[in-house]
Amino acid sequence: MTPGTVVVTGGAGFLGSHLCERMLTRGARVICMDNFLTGTPANVEHLFGDPCFRLVDCDLTGFVHVPGNVDMVLHFASAASPVDYLRHPIETLKVGSLGTLHALGLAKDKGARFVLASTSEVYGDPLEHPQRETYWGNVNPVGPRSVYDEAKRFAEALTTAYRHSHGVDTGIVRIFNTYGPRMRVSDGRAIPTFVGQALRGEPITVTGDGAQTRSVCYVDDTIAGVLALAESGLAGPVNIGGPDEMTMLGLAGLIRDLAGSSSPIRLIEPAADDPRIRRPDTTLAEQKLGWRPKVPVEEGLRRTIAWFAAEPAAEPVA
């Protein structure tokens, strides 16, 4: 299938920049829309010479206009790291609500397929493990993470309403913790933080008792899953995430070893409302999309460490 013209919102961010790249190699014309709140034009600078690529400085919370035909809207705009969304709470709520409304409006206007980047955070601190798409979640609506969780839950509801009321061809992908090149070393998420600390020989800061778990997925695998959903007619939601559930203490130790570092591991204050466990049930993605992750966690972490080691030091964006 030829992807035609694809709008990637949040295209100058971590996942968005990989999506733009992958869509171009598939022969698409890519319009990348971003306001650079947590992303940077540097993430897509290498695509500027491609005549099929266009970067538009645009805030999705305002009116969005794209001239001409659009075949697909991949809606990825939103701060995603807890440090970022806690620094930008209102912006996060606005892009999840108003931004999603405008991206859906664009898809409706153009008759385009729309894909929402949702998140495992809609499951909150889950009482079902692993999490299946049928689980409704355990979210604190007034807790610190609610600015992100509830924005995404609203975005899922709005996407579903546009499908049922306006007949928009929509898909929802619930992405679990993804890592890889082009994360900001200073974005506060566990993997870039641990890698930066290990490479600098500083203490690796693990929150709480470090027994909380996450299941991590290398970016190439996540992007393959997103594209499989985008090119299917599936409405979802569909979980896309890695099978390797690890404690944060285990992850810190693994990163330290792979980086050849002798950093000590330091336990710090627990993060508020931090989910204790997290692992996707990916049966649906396997059965309906033929998707499963391919990159083993040690290999993905090695590639990520090598990328950070070759990059200049941290670059605060916002």
Question: With CB cut-offs between 5 and 8 Å by kind, which of ligand UDP, ligand NAD, none does residue 60 bind?
Answer: ligand NAD
Residue 260 Cβ, how far from ligand NAD at the closest point, in Å? 26
Q: Which of 5, 30, 31, 34 binds ligand NAD (CB under 6 A)?
A: 34
**What are phi and psi for residue 222, nearest 5 degrees?**
-60, -45
Residue 82 site contact among ligand UDP, ligand NAD, none (CB < 5 to 8 Å, cut-off depends on kind): ligand UDP
Q: CB-wise, 185 or 190, nearer to ligand UDP?
A: 190
Neighbour count for residue 143 (Cβ, 10 Å): 14
Q: Taking contact as CB under 6 A, which single stretch among the options 16-24, 130-138, 187-195, 236-244 is the one that binds ligand UDP? A: 187-195
Kindly provide the residue ranges of all beta strands, DSSP E only, lying in the chain, ordered along the sequence: 5-9, 29-34, 53-57, 72-75, 113-119, 170-175, 178-179, 204-207, 213-215, 217-218, 238-240, 245-247, 265-268
Residue type, 106: L
218 catalytically annotated: no
Out of 178, 193, 239, 282, the residue judged to bind ligand NAD by CB under 6 A: 178
Binding-site partner at residue 79 among ligand NAD, ligand UDP, none, CB < 5 to 8 Å by type? ligand NAD
Catalytic residue among 123, 148, 162, 179: 148
Using the contact rule CB under 6 A, the part of the chain among 7-15, 250-258, 264-272, 279-287 near ligand NAD is 7-15
Q: Find the binding residues for ligand UDP in span 58-87 (CB under 6 A).
A: 81-82
Q: For residue 72, give the nearest of 222, 225, 226 by alpha carbon.
A: 226
Instruction: Specify the amino acid at residue 52.
Output: C
| Bridge partner residues of 54 (DSSP) | 31
Catalytic residue numbers, as ranges: 148
Interacting residue ranges for ligand UDP, rule: CB under 6 A: 81-82, 177, 189-190, 193, 205-207, 212, 214, 248, 271, 274
